[in-house]
Chains A and B, each alone.
Chain A
Amino acid sequence: MLQAADVTFAYRGHAPVLRGVTMEVPANSFVGILGPNGSGKTTLLRLLAGILPPSTGRVVLDAVDLRLTPRSRVARRMAVVPQETHLAFDYSVSEVVLMGRYAHLGAFEIEGPVDFAIARDALAATGTLQFEDREFGTLSGGEKQRVIIAAALAQLTGAAGEGILLLDEPTAALDLAYQLELADLLRDLQRRTPMAIAISTHDLNFAAGLCRTLVLLKNGEVLAAGETEAVLTPDRIRALYGVEAEVTRHHLTGRLVVVPLRRVPAESRA
């Protein structure tokens, strides 16, 4: 449903950040876009979200070029959770979540009982209903992120077709407990409502334990893509990060775990 087809992107006057990237976010999938700093993973996510237009190639949503799809229609199908959200003014949590309903309302329409119900459901689903009357700015980083996810859920509710949720580096500003909480939340959301989730991250273990498929990016090109277990091998981790690592299944959780062992000197990298 959401695909990048031979996408190249360069910021004006700079070398390309992405080169010939082809990948997809299928229905009800959980895709991780993984790579070291500067590999282009956040840029790829922004292209998928329609925030940036590709220099060449196409990003396609339901067989239609994203650039030819009206913004409001894109917004009803696809929501984005940015790394961090700073509001210019103080809004309450419920106001922020109701902003998710923008694409569902006419130019002068006011949110009705249906929108309020959707917003409350979204807050409840992300465990943030107790914050609804708080100022958004007074919440902690992890709480803010859950509220923004609630806004994204409100945005995707009532869409024609399965929703797509894109998260940019969701663990970048979170401590360990929140990381676990976020992973549980995302799994739980997908179990409840079928939707496609794609995240960009440099956190190997977060991605390994959560994502069913991975796209590995190196210097703006796809190094490998496919099912997490098939893709995440010691060879690829060495190629990606220059780090010798062991990939095993954890004996308690049963999830894939990456244990970095040591750095590989630059000249001996394959």
Chain B
Amino acid sequence: MKRTVGHRFALTVASFGALAAAAIVLAPLVGSTHISLRRAFDPAIPFADNVDAQIFFVARLPRTLAGALVGAMLASAGVVFQGLLRNPLATPFTLGVSAGAALGAMLAITFNWSLAWAGIPAAPAASFAGSLVAVAIVYALSRARHSGMSTNVLLLAGVTMNAFFSALILFVQYFADFAQTYRILRWLMGDLDISSYEPLVTALPLVLVSFAVFAWLARPLNLLSLGPESAGTHGLDVTRAQRAAFVSASIATGAAVSVGGPVGFIGIIVPHLVRLLVGSDHRIVLPASALFGAAFLIACDVVARTAMAPVELPVGVVTAILGGPFFLWLLVRKR
């Protein structure tokens, strides 16, 4: 028994936190117009005259922070789903929960045209509702086979749910006009192109609620690795922990999707890399995945913005190109 959990937690938060902070500060510097970090933060120049600061804080920082928020939420929701279903291939995306959330957000967007399409308060709420419906189906499936989910069931359920929600999304899209359809299509690929802080502020309460529940869930998720029955005989109220995990992971997915669309594969790439680095204790894995997820998605977005400049790709294209092969590799490698 080497370091205590307290030490490891502090070490993890410090190192992964530094990584995330560096990503947040450096990513806004990358773009078509070169800006200087020193000028942007120079207090001697009034903000109205400081073009660098304007580009940094108004044009680029919201998008970077959106990447941080979406990456953190999707990565930690992935950890929670994996712990809950006792399967390392479970993620919001592969389970179809992201698609459910996207459908919810689409409904809110399509039928509330009087409001701006991003940042309307209805979108996060509907997105959360959509993910909750998807999660309820997954929950019912996992209860029906009460010792967790085999990889086969999980993948089939995910494929079915994704196909089902995608069909409904297409159906809803039928009611949108051309201009909206284009924006919706980009958003469905997973796009962080937001132009104000408003969607972030709107999603913030959901973010805080789900992180609070995640903090409580860390030890229950460790016990659930033993199986639900053993977790129960260790003193855990299993049903309560499972419900808390399902609801909080849907809130997190809903919040993330309402901001950035259903960005794929973050929930699987990040937790796997993190576990390789820090082990499996969820008290370490959860904060590390949130912080690394933030840094990772920001980095992917930088690639998306610059790879084919001046064209800006949706970030979901980048994560899918990385994540698809990664997922297949895990599937082959799995015992």
Residues of A that sit less than 8 Å from B by CB: 46, 49-51, 71-72, 74-76, 78-80, 82, 85-92, 94-96, 99-100, 102-103, 105, 107-108, 110-111, 116, 119-120, 132-133, 155
Contacts and interface: CB of A to CB of B under 8 A. Distances in A.
Nearest to A107: B216
Contact of B234 (A86, A94, A103, A119): A103
A51 B232 contact: yes
Contacts of B166: none
Given A88-B86, A120-B1, A100 B234 contact: yes
Given A88-B148, A103-B234, A82 B229 contact: yes
A184 to B, nearest CB: 25
Contacts of A120: 1
A92 to B, nearest CB: 7
B6 interface: yes
26 contacts: A50-B233, A51-B233, A71-B236, A74-B233, A75-B233, A75-B234, A82-B229, A85-B226, A85-B227, A85-B230, A86-B227, A88-B82, A88-B86, A88-B88, A88-B148, A88-B224, A88-B225, A91-B222, A91-B281, A99-B222, A99-B223, A102-B236, A107-B216, A107-B219, A111-B5, A155-B234
Given A51-B232, A91-B280, A102-B234, A110 B5 contact: yes
Nearest to B234: A102
Nearest to A51: B229
Contacts of B83: 88-89
B235 interface: yes
Interface string B200-234: 00000000000000011001001111110110111
Nearest to A113: B4
B42 interface: no
B275 A89 contact: yes
Nearest to A103: B235
Interface in B60-91: 82-83, 86-88
Contact of B233 (A80, A88, A105, A111): A80
A80 B230 contact: yes
B235 A75 contact: yes
A82 B227 contact: yes
Contact of A108 (B215, B224, B237, B281): B215
B12 to A, nearest CB: 14
Given A88-B86, A88-B88, A89-B275, A133 B2 contact: yes
B4 to A, nearest CB: 7
A80 B229 CA distance: 10
B279 interface: yes
Q: Which of B5, B83, B88, B232 has the most CB of A within 10 A?
A: B232
Contacts of A49: 233
A172 to B, nearest CB: 16
- Find the residue from A74, A76, A88 having the highest chain B CB count within 10 A: A88
Contacts of A94: 1
A103 to B, nearest CB: 3
Contacts of A87: 225-226
Interface string B259-290: 00000000000000001000111010000000
A155 B232 CA distance: 13
